[in-house]
Structure 1
Amino acid sequence: MIADNGLNSAVWSTSLHFTRPGAQTVTARAVDAAGNRSALSNADVITAYGC
């Protein structure tokens, strides 16, 4: 989960953990305090590497 602390809403960060190496498709969805959900973001492809 990513939370906006209200100080700088343009900066976001999180850690992603994948179950397998290779190309992974990632999307995001915002949920406000009232529980309203946004549409999914455009998909981005991230390459995961095994540790």
Structure 2
Amino acid sequence: MLYYALLFFIIAIIAAAFGFGGIAAGAAGIAKILFFIFVVIFLVALIMGLVRR
């Protein structure tokens, strides 16, 4: 699950680079959505890791 969180984070960074660079205006919105998905998945993975201990 942490793998997918990192994958979403990398995609969000790439989308942010395109969106904030002026290449595609819609990519900034996508980057924000992907960033929040990354944060949620990261928190779930963190909590699951703490519960397993």
Q: TM-score range by the shorter chain?
A: under 0.3
Question: TM-score scaled by structure 1?
Answer: 0.22
Higher relative contact order (CA 8 A, sep 6+): 2
Give 1 or 2: higher helix fraction. 2
- 1 or 2, which has the higher strand percentage? 1
